[in-house]
Structure 1
Amino acid sequence: MFKSFFSFLLLLLILVKGSNTFAQDSVLVFRTLDSARKIPADTGKVNWLIDKGKALGRYFDKRSLENPFFQEAITLSQRWRFARGLFNAYNETGISKRNRSEYLLAADYHQKAVKYAEEIGNDLLLCIALNNTGVDYRRMDDQLEKAFEYHFRALQLAEKINDVRNICIAINSIGNIQLSTEKYADAINHFEKALELERENKNNLGVAINLGNIGYAYQGLGKLDLAIDYYKRSLAVNNQLDNNTGRAICYNALGSVYQQKKDYNNALFYLNRALEVNGHVDDKVHIAESYLNIGKLWSLQGKHAEARRYFQQSVDLSLAWRFKYILTEVYKAMAADYKASGDFKRSLESMDTSLLYKDSILNEKSALALAQTQAIYEVDRKDNQIKLLEHDKQISELRTKRNVVYTLSMAGFLLMLAVGGFFYIRHRNLETNKQTLQLELRSLRAQMNPHFIFNSLSSIHRFIWSNNQEEASDYLTKFSRLMRMILDNTQHTFISLNKELESLRLYLDLEKLRCNNVFEYRIEVDEEINEEEVMIPPMIIQPYVENAIWHGLVHKSGKGLLEIAVNLKGRTLICTVTDNGIGRKKAIEIKEKKGQTHRSMGMQVTEGRIDLIRKINNTKEATVNITDLEDEVGKPTGTQVKLVLPVEFIF
C-alpha cells in the first residue's frame, strides 16, 4: 500500500507539471521509496527513512507535499514504541513545516518532539526540540510570549549540560524577541553574549548574524553611528564567508540607516549594492524588496518619476512571484508618493489596492491557520488510530499470553501442591521426631543436676573433714550460690554464653580451693563475641573441665594449668579445654590401680546430649574431639578437648 499510494502521487505530479527535470527528480524519489520496501522492518529502517527524508526534504518542501519518509518513520516508530525514532521524525517534520511557513503545524510537531525527548530523558534532544518550538512561535507575531518561554527553558537546560550550540540559539532567539518588542537594551545584552560564544567556537556565520542584530538594536535606540559600525562589521564577516544572502541583508540595513540619517547618497549606494547582490540569490523576494526600498528613497527626495519606476519593477516582480506582502507595501509606498506629488486620486487607488492585498493576506493566513488546525486534528486522529490498533494488537497478544500463563500456572499449582504435600508430610514426621529427641534431651539434662550435686556434696564432705569450719562455711556459701545458678540455668534449653561462663568460673574457683590451689585456670573469649547475644546449651562445658581437673591436674607434680578458649565461626561455637596434666594414658593406669573401672557419668550424659543436638539441628557440626598432647620425645604433656556446637542468637 505504501508503494502503490506514493507511486500514484508521483505519477499524478509528473502529469500535472510536465517538466523533464521534475520527472527525473520524481524517478529518484520513487526509486528511494521502492528501496524502502526491501529494508527489514526494525529501528534501523526508521533511521534510514529519517536520513532519506532529510536528504530529499527540499524536493517535497518546494512542492508543498508531505514527506512520506517521515510519515512512514512515525508509523513504524509508534508500532514499536521507538521513542528516539518518534523524536527524530517529529522534529524533522516540524522543520519541514516551518520551511513552508506552516508555523502552527511546525509548533505542534515540535511539541511532540519535546514530549518524546522528555520520555527518553536526553537533555540535548530536549534542548533542540525546545529551541525549535520557540522558533516556530517566534515566527507567529502574536506568540512571542510562548516563544520566550520555550527558548528560556532551552537556555537553562543547555547551560546545565554546557551545550554551546543550543545556548547560542536560545540567547539569539531571546534577543530577537526583545528586538521585536522594542526592548533594545536587553536585546543588545543577549546578542553580545551570543556573539562572544560564537567567537569562542569560531562560528563566523553566527558572528555575522549577531553583529547585524546588535546593529538593528542600536538603530532602534536611535544610535545610528553605532548601528552603521555593527552593520559594516557584519558585512566584513559575510564578505569573508562569501555569503550573498548576508551581504544583501547588510546592504539593505545600511541603506535603511543612512536613509534615517537623511544621507541619501550613501543610502542609494548601499541599496543599489543590495540589488546587485540579490541578483545572485535564488529567492526573488529580496530583489522585489530592494526595488521597493530604492523607490522609497527616491520618493523621499521628491524624485517621483524615478521612485515610480522602481515601484513598478517591484510590482511586476511581485505579481509574477505572488509576493502579496511586498505588493501591500509597494502600493502603500506608491500611495504616499502620489499624495506627496498632489495626485490624490491615484494615491487613493493605490491605497485601496494595498488594502485589498492586505485583506487577501489576512484571508490566506486565516485559511492557512484553519487548514493547519485541521491538519493537526488529522495527524492526532491518525496517531490515535495507530495507537488504538496497536492497543488492540497488544490486548490480543496479552489474551494469548494470559491463556498460556493460566495453563502453566495451573500445572505449576498442581506440581507445587504435590511437592508441598510431600514436604508437609516429611516436615510433620521430622517435627514428631524432633519433639521425641527434645524430650530425651530434657531427660539427660535433668540427670546432670543430681550427678553434679552428688559430686559436689562429696567434695564438701571431704573439705569439711580436712579443713577448718570457717573455710568450710565460706566454701558452702559459694557452693549454694553455684547450685542456685545451675538449677536456674538447667531449666532452659539455651542460656547466654556469659551465664554459662559465670557458673563455670564459680565452679573452677570452688575446685581450685578444694584442691589446695594445685592448678590455675584461664578463660579467653574472642573479642568479636558478644557474650550476651550468643546462646548455648547449659552445663555443656563443665563435665570436660571437671574431667580435666580430677583425671589430669590433681595427679600432676607441680603447678597445673587449665586453659579454656571460646571462639565463634558463623553460627558455630568452638570451645577448647586444654590442661597440662598427666594425660589420659597415665590417668587410666591410676584408675586401674585404684580399681576404678566405671566411666564418668557427666561425660556419658554430655556425649548423649551432643548426639541429640546433632540430630535435632540436622548437622554434623556438633562434635567432640579429644587429643593427647605430647612433647618432641613423645612424653605426655596434657590433654585437649575441642567442643564444636551450633549456637542460637538473641537477635
Structure 2
Amino acid sequence: MKKIILLFLINFFFLTTVDAQTQVKDSLKLLLQKEKTDTGRVLLLADLGFEYMGSKQDTIMVLALEGLSLSRRIGFIKGEAVSLNRIGNAFNGFGNYPKAMESFLKALKINEKIKNTDGIQRNLNNIGVVHLSQEDYQRALAYLFKSKELAEKNNNKRSISISLGYIGLAYLNLKKIDSARLYTQQAHDVAYEIHFPRIIGSSLTTLGGIHSQTGQNKLALEYYRLSAPYSERAENFADLSNTYLGMAKLFKKIDRMILVLFMQKNLF
C-alpha cells in the first residue's frame, strides 16, 4: 500500500504544472522576443537555460549552443564564456563529465582573461560539482570553497547558497555529519532569506539524508516532506527524485524495524 501511495505522489508532483516557475520562463521568453541587442539575447538565453536545470538538459543545450554561436559571430567574449558554462551544465546533467569539465575549463580561461569575477566564481563552483558527481569529494571541496569565497566577496547570496549546498552534500558523502549539517543549514538559511526555492529544496533534501544517516528516521522523513514542494516549484526533478528515493529507502527501513519489533514481542 505504501509503495502505491509513494508512486502516486511521485507522479502527482512530476505532472503538476508549477505556475510560478512557468511565469519566470514565460517572462524570459517574452523578454527574448523583445530584446533588440544581440548581447542581451545571449545573456537571456543563458538565464532561460538556468530555469531548466534539473529538468530538461536537451533544452539547456539548445539554448546554450544558440548563445555560443551568436556570441562568436558578434565577438561577445563574456557571452561566449556564459554560454560555455551553460553547455557544461547540460553535459553534467547528461552524465558526460569529461565534456562538462572541458566546457567549464574553457569558460574559466575566458573569464580569467577578461577578469570577470562572477563568471570565475560560477565556473569554479561547476568544476567542483563535476568532481562531486564523480565522487572525488576532496577535490570538489577545494573548488567549492574557492567558489564560496568569491561569492562572498561579491556579496552574491544566490551563489553563496549554491556553493554552501554542494559543500554540505560533499561532506555528507564523506560521512562528516557535523560539517554536512553546518554547511547545509547555512545554505538553507541564505536561500530562505532570498526566496530561492531551488536551494531551499535541495538543502532540505540533504538535511533529510543527514538525519537518515544518523538514524533519525522520523525527522528525515519530515525534511524530505518539506523539501518536495520547493523542488517542485523550481521544477528541479533531479532533486525531487532524490527526495522520493530517500523517502522510499526510509519506508523500507521502517517496515523492517516494525517487523523486528513485532517478532521480538511475539517471541518473548
* TM-score, structure 1 as length reference: 0.32
Aligned to 2:204: 251
- How far 1:146 moved relative to its partner? 1.1
Residue equivalent to 1:57: 29
CA distance in 2: counterparts of 1:228 and 1:281, whole angstroms: 24
Give the letter for the 2:207 counterpart.
L
More strand by share: 1
**1:152, 1:264 → 2: CA distance?**
41
In 1: Cα distance, 2:217 partner to 2:79 partner: 49
Query: In the alignment, is residue 232 of structure 1 matched against residue 204 of structure 2?
Result: no
Q: Tell which structure's C-alpha radius of gyration is larger.
A: 1
Q: Secondary structure at the match of 2:255?
A: coil
Distance of aligned partners of 1:230 and 1:107 in 2 relative to their CA distance in 1, 3 Å threshold = same
Residue 130 of structure 1 is aligned with which of 84, 87, 107? 84
What corresponds to 2:144 in structure 1? 191
Post-superposition CA distance 1:423-467 (Å, at most 9, x none): xxxxxxxxxxxxxxxxxxxxxxxxxxxxxxxxxxxxxxxxxxxxx
Preserved CA contact (<8 Å) 2:85 2:107: yes
Amino acid of the structure 2 residue aligned with 1:249: S
How far does residue 211 in structure 1 lie from its aligned partner after superposition?
Answer: 0.8
Match of 1:200 in 2: 153
Structure having the larger proportion of residues in helix: 2
- Does the CA contact (< 8 Å) of 2:172 and 2:210 recur in 1? yes
Give the secondary-structure state (helix, strand or coil) at the position aligned to 2:155.
Answer: coil
Cα drift, residue 115 of structure 1: 4.0
In the alignment, is the contact (CA less than 8 A) between 2:89 and 2:126 conserved in 1? yes
Is 2:169–2:180's contact at 8 Å kept on the other side of the alignment?
yes
* Cα offset, 1:86, TM superposition: 8.8
In 2, distance between residues paired with 1:118 and 1:199? 31
Return the offset for 1:274: 3.0
| Aligned-partner Cα distance in 2 for 1:99–1:204 | 21
Q: CA 1:273–1:176 in 2, change beyond 3 Å: closer, same or farther?
A: same
CA distance in 2, matches of 1:165, 1:303: 49
When the two structures are aligned, how many residues end up with a matched partner?
234
Matches of 2:236 and 2:125 in 1, distance apart? Answer: 27
Residue by residue over 1:604-651, the C-alpha shift from the partner in whole angstroms, topping out at 9 and shown as x without a partner, is: xxxxxxxxxxxxxxxxxxxxxxxxxxxxxxxxxxxxxxxxxxxxxxxx
Query: 2:5 — aligned with what?
Result: none
Which one-letter code corresponds to 2:27 in the other structure? A
Matches of residues 212-223 of structure 1 in structure 2 within 5 Å?
212-223=165-176
Change in 2 beyond 3 A, CA 1:281/1:150: closer
Measure the CA separation in 1 of the matches of 2:231 and 2:56. 27
Are the structure 2 counterparts of residues 140 and 147 from structure 1 closer, same or farther at C-alpha, using a change threshold of 3 Å?
same
Q: In 2 relative to 1, CA 223–304 (structure 1 residues): closer, same or farther, beyond 3 Å?
A: closer
SS at match of 1:99: coil
For residues 457-496 of structure 1, the aligned pairs below 5 Å read none
How far the C-alpha of 1:233 sits from its partner, in A, is 1.5
The one of 83, 94, 104 equivalent to 1:151 is 104
Instruction: Report the CA distance shift for 1:281/1:106 in structure 2 as closer, same or farther (over 3 A).
Output: closer
Check the 8 A contact 1:134/1:150 in 2, yes or no.
Answer: yes
Q: Which residues of 2 match residues 552-631 of structure 1 at below 5 A? A: none
In 2, the alpha carbon distance for the partners of 1:250 and 1:158 equals 29
Q: Contact conserved, 1:279 with 1:287, CA < 8 A, in 2?
A: yes
C-alpha distance in 1 between matches for 2:199 and 2:111? 27
Q: Does the alignment pair 1:120 with 2:74? A: yes
Residue type of the alignment partner of 2:110: L
Change (3 A) 1:200 1:265: same
- How far apart are the structure 2 equivalents of 1:106 and 1:283? 14
* Structure 1 residue 56 displacement after superposition: 5.7
Aligned pairs for 1:31-110 (under 5 A) are 55=27, 57=29, 69=33, 85=38, 88=41, 92=45, 95=48, 99=52, 103-104=57-58, 106-108=60-62, 110=64
Distance 1:168 1:228 in 2: 23
Assess if the C-alpha contact under 8 Å between 1:87 and 1:114 holds in 2. Answer: no
Cα 1:217–1:138 shift into 2, 3 Å: same
The amino acid that maps onto 1:302 is D
Counterpart contact for 1:94–1:106, Cα < 8 Å:
no
Gap runs ≥5 in structure 2: 1-24, 263-268
Does the 8 Å contact 1:194/1:210 carry over to 2?
A: yes
2:118 matched to 1:165?
Answer: yes
RMSD of equivalent CA atoms: 3.9
TM-score by length of 2: 0.70
Per-residue Cα deviation, 1:474-494 (whole angstroms, up to 9, x for no partner): xxxxxxxxxxxxxxxxxxxxx
- Equivalent-residue separation in structure 2 for 1:183 and 1:235 (angstroms): 24
Mapped contact 1:231–1:253 kept (Cα < 8 A): yes
Q: Amino acid of the residue matched to residue 123 of structure 1?
A: I
Q: Which runs of 5+ in 1 are unaligned?
A: 1-52, 60-66, 78-83, 306-336, 342-651
